[in-house]
Amino acid sequence: MAPAPVRNTPPLPPRVEIHVHLEGTVTLPRLRTLWDRPGRDASLPSDPASLYRHRSFSEFLQHFAQVTRIIRGPEDLALITSDLCRSLKRQGVAAAEVFFSPVIFMRRGIPFMEMLDAMDEAVLWERARGGPTMAWILDGVRQWGPRGLETHLECAARAPGRILGIGIGGDERSVPASQFKSHFAQARSMGLRTVAHAGEFDGPRSVWEALEVLGAERIGHGIRSCEDPELLALLRRRKVPLEVCPTSNLRTRVVACWNDHPIARLISAGVRVTVNSDDPALFRTSLSTEFRVLRYRLGLGTAQVRKIEREGIRASFLPAAVKRELLRSFRRLREKGRRGKERAKGQEWR
């Protein structure tokens, strides 16, 4: 039988993903390969597929924690990192800033440097095969209090130049931001970038604190900022990017339906909006799906979607020269794609 012809797919305009949790990228097929090993935690449900459907935000947090209990060590993290690199490559993602919470695994005795070495090695292997660059943001678990952030700062100090920044996620209403203020200040003095989940489940107050108390450079989600005009004005004035994750908001019931999602209001308020996948496997989405959601569920026009794609590049912590190069390449390939489409339309009418 003759071999199938090789199709040359044109290169995709580059995208950047700036809000994705490594632990939330474990796909169901990957989880199944890790599931049936001796010594599995007896408290886990019998069906791994049940971890991918959530009735509430607290149930999602529970599922997230259960997935992390299946990850046993550096080898598993290397596999998951490789899976993520390949998935991002297929979606045209050139660079990703990825959350990872080592404190979860260190509590079970897994050494941080072994995890980081395995993950970085996986990234290098995939980079050599056209995969994206990947930078790690150590994400603290808010409900565990300041000790976790201290551990993350110690981790970053032990791996100079290998950690991009620190963040805080989890249950926004559990521990006040003031308890993490000194950790964020210390991170800055170490040259780390700082981000914070806020205004997802909690209201505008949480975003105010992330900005004024923690000094976060970007806000994870931040969608409830639209409830406070003064806060919107501050975000606009300071040009703080929001890392909006629409499908995540729907799956965790932060919004009841697509019509309730405030992304269009944030855009018209002049706030910098980026779009990201958050926990793509656990929310059954991807960055590409999120951009389709903008068009077909949230009613944004092509120009608005393109602007958000570019904003993802601009809001990243990549060096300025890399951003310029990515933006140039984005414009060139989008323009090429547009001309290609117009040509195809022209031929249809002949």
Residues carrying an active site annotation = 200
17 contributes a contact to Zn ion by CB under 5 A: no
Distance CA 14, CA 94 (A): 6
The least CB distance from residue 135 to Zn ion, in Å, is 16
Q: Which residue type does 46 have? A: S
The least CB distance from residue 268 to Zn ion, in Å, is 24
Provide the 3-class DSSP secondary structure of residue 250. helix
Length of the chain: 350
At 241, which helix (H) or strand (E)?
A: none
Cβ distance 240 to 211 under 8 Å?
A: yes
- Closest to Zn ion by CB, 202 vs 278, is 278
The least CB distance from residue 233 to Zn ion, in Å, is 25
Provide the 3-class DSSP secondary structure of residue 21. strand
- Closest to Zn ion by CB, 209 vs 278, is 278
209 contributes a contact to Zn ion by CB under 5 A: no
Q: Are strands 193-198 and 218-221 parallel, antiparallel or unpaired?
A: parallel
Q: Which residue has the tokens 């489940």?
A: 201
Q: What are phi and psi for residue 100, nearest 5 degrees?
A: -145, 140
Distance CA 248, CA 288 (A): 14
The least CB distance from residue 277 to Zn ion, in Å, is 10
- Closest to Zn ion by CB, 126 vs 278, is 278
Cβ distance 192 to 216 under 8 Å?
A: no
Provide the 3-class DSSP secondary structure of residue 202. coil
- Closest to Zn ion by CB, 278 vs 309, is 278
Q: Which of 76, 202, 209, 278 binds Zn ion (CB under 5 A)?
A: 278
The least CB distance from residue 276 to Zn ion, in Å, is 8
| Stretch in the footprint of Zn ion (CB under 5 A) among 30-38, 155-163, 232-240, 272-280 | 272-280
Which token pair is 5? 């012809």
DSSP 8-state symbol, 343:
H
| Stretch in the footprint of Zn ion (CB under 5 A) among 176-184, 270-278, 294-302, 331-339 | 270-278
- Closest to Zn ion by CB, 142 vs 272, is 142
139 contributes a contact to Zn ion by CB under 5 A: no
172 contributes a contact to Zn ion by CB under 5 A: no
| Stretch in the footprint of Zn ion (CB under 5 A) among 41-49, 153-161, 273-281, 316-324 | 273-281
| Stretch in the footprint of Zn ion (CB under 5 A) among 53-61, 71-79, 275-283, 319-327 | 275-283
Strand partners, 196: 219
- Residues lying near Zn ion in the complex (CB under 5 A) are found at 278
